[in-house]
Amino acid sequence: MIQSGVVELKEILSLEHVSFTYASEDVQESRKALEDISFTIREGEWIAIVGHNGSGKSTLAKLIIGLLFPNEGTIRVFLEELGEENLWNIRSRMGIVFQNPDNQFVGSTVQDDVAFALENNGVPFEKMVPRVHAALAQVKMESFLDHEPHHLSGGQKQRVAIAGALALEPELLILDEATSMLDPQGRDEVIRVVEELKRQTGLTVLSITHDLEEVLLADRVIVMNQGKVLAIGSPAQIFERGDELEAIGLDLPFSMKLSDSLQKEGIELNGNHMSEEELVNELWTSYFNK
Amino acid sequence: MMEKMIFGRYIPGHSFVHRLDPRSKLIFVFLFIVAVFFANNTATYAVLLAFTLLTILTARIRLYFLFNGLKPILFLVAFTLLMHFIFTKEGPILFEWKFIRIYEEGLRQGIYISIRFLVLVLMTTILTLTTSPISITDGMETLLNPLKKLKLPVHELALMMSISLRFIPTLMDETDKIMKAQLARGSDLTTGSLKERIKAVVPLLVPLFVSAFKRAEDLAIAMEVRGYRGGEGRTRYRQLDWQWRDTIALVIFGLLLIALLWLRS
Ligand SMILES: Nc1ncnc2c1ncn2[C@@H]1O[C@H](COP(=O)(O)OP(=O)(O)OP(=O)(O)O)[C@@H](O)[C@H]1O
Ligand SMILES: [Mg+2]
């Protein structure tokens, strides 16, 4: 991605001044779930969206996939304005994985579930079989073809859900807290799979997450607060504003907190440490530099 | 008790019967149910019984396993038999002791009806034992496809059925969890009068329903974003494959029918 500013990468998604309010009988209560959101995502980017509970992250995902429509502003997906007419076409070009592994498993076995989106889009049987196998191979679940959902772990179910999205060969993959209900091992499995995919296929990923490790993997981070975009930037830029993030109820990576505390204790360290490795490296070499 | 009951359960296997197409099995069982009513004498009932036993052997189901699992239903069969012994009063008396009299017709009718009932139960049990629920659903959907012209929502019904089947274990787990959560809060589900126990079930059902609705909503969203728009223009991943053995099964049924028609009086 070391291209000069002249050659712009293809735009995948852009929001312009998008606002949304959930319809509610109680007028007093109807607060804007999203207010004046604008950003652009380009091909091959990995975007992380963070924000406190109720900051509108899921609402944003639902607008992008066309489950809800904005009250104000426009959403452009694949350079087309999202509307009722092109909704199904646009949906067939992106995949979304939700939080609860159980509630999005439609098929009675792993392969049925992966084929579900293909069936819906009228892909002929002969083409479905290789696609299902390929998608399952991408998430390393090819040996589970005939397994039933209740015999799979949460992480495995989420990988199947990702395979289900990949089977349609999407240009954009949205993960709405796809790892939040998993144990650390399941979370690692899923993140690793997405990372690998991104490297191999250059997929554009929009990941809504509370997991800081996932945030560090992203190219850019969008911080949401009370329905508004608070900041957009690289993970380093975002975590630099540590206090601000903590003020809106977000956590910081453990290494950053540690490095902060060490600095407060008077140990001289240079700048921020986003990963434990960076911090360890600085710490064990710090005496040599003296 | 639940583990032993095999009516409606599926046991995977590789027998001739297991490998049949669900369509041929469904057609077979349906026609068999009709054919059972052609039997009206000892020879025809004997043929039916023998044929059923042969099917059990072909499906490689152990008789002990089958009858053990069907105990509650066998009890019902025995009950029918008894009722006929007592209440059918035709023909010469075979047996008399104090006020109990068993007539020849009673014995005959009792045995016939019991065989009829037994054979029907056995055949449907073999169907469900050898065919996974999802295959049965697929078979039904394909067989009922012509009814779409009559505006019967065949695809929707089949999808509903397969989703319900898929969610049974999930909801079972959930029930278990809620039950434990309520037990931990001191609710008592196992003792007390019937009224008390029914009352204790309410705190189980309410959270279960709430979560089931939540799941249904999530699932509907997940289906929609994956492009589900009803049966129109949809292709099928599960393909049914009618083979030589399916044709053979139906030919065998034809032979059975001929035998029945020939032997009946
Ligand atoms: N179906 C709905 N009807 C009415 N209000 C809703 C609905 N869904 C969400 N909201 C409200 O919209 C706001 C944003 O919710 P949203 O689910 O987008 O938050 P979120 O950032 O995804 O939170 P979380 O981290 O908990 O998933 C919240 O104030 C919430 O109460
Ligand atoms: Mg959310």
Q: Are A97 and B220 in contact (CB under 8 A)?
A: no
Query: Which residue in A120, A148, A149 is closest to B227 by CB distance?
Result: A120
- Per the structure, how many domains does chain B have? 2
Residue B237 forms part of a structural domain: no
pLDDT at A116: 94
pTM, two decimals, is 0.82
Within 10 angstroms of residue A11's Cβ, the number of other Cβ atoms is: 14
pLDDT at B91: 77
Of A39, A38, A57, A50, nearest in space to A215 by CA:
A50
Domain parsing of chain A, residue ranges: 7-93+172-183+204-235
B107 to chain A nearest CA, in Å? 48
Q: Which residues pair with A39 in a beta bridge?
A: A15
Of B259, B225, B208, B215, nearest in space to B48 by CA:
B259
pLDDT at A289: 59
Give the pLDDT confidence of A58-117 residue by residue, as tens digits: 999 999 999 999 999 999 999 899 888 899 999 999 999 999 999 999 998 999 999 999
pLDDT at B212: 93
Q: How far apart are CA A106 and CA B205, in angstroms?
A: 24
Residue B11 forms part of a structural domain: no
> Which residues of chain A carry a pLDDT beneath 50?
1-3
pLDDT at B3: 52
Question: How far are the Cα atoms of A220, A277, B137 from residue A8, in angstroms, in the given order?
Answer: 16, 33, 51
Residues B212 and B257 both lie in one domain: no
Ligand having the closest approach to the CA of A49? 1
> Which residues of chain B carry a pLDDT beneath 70?
1-5, 7
Residue of B217, B229, B235, B241 best to disrupt the A interface, most CBs of A under 10 A: B235
Q: Quick one: how far is CA B204 from the chain centroid?
A: 28
Residue A92 at interface with chain B, using a CB cutoff of 8 Å? yes
Residues B52 and B138 both lie in one domain: yes
Residues B41 and B124 both lie in one domain: yes
pLDDT at B1: 40
pLDDT at B2: 46
Residue B7 forms part of a structural domain: no
Residue A30 at interface with chain B, using a CB cutoff of 8 Å? no
What is the extent of the structural domain holding B137? 22-146+242-263
Residue B10 forms part of a structural domain: no
* CATH class of the domain whose range is A7-93+172-183+204-235: alpha beta
Residues B170 and B248 both lie in one domain: no
- Interchain proximity A103–B215, CB inside 8 Å: yes
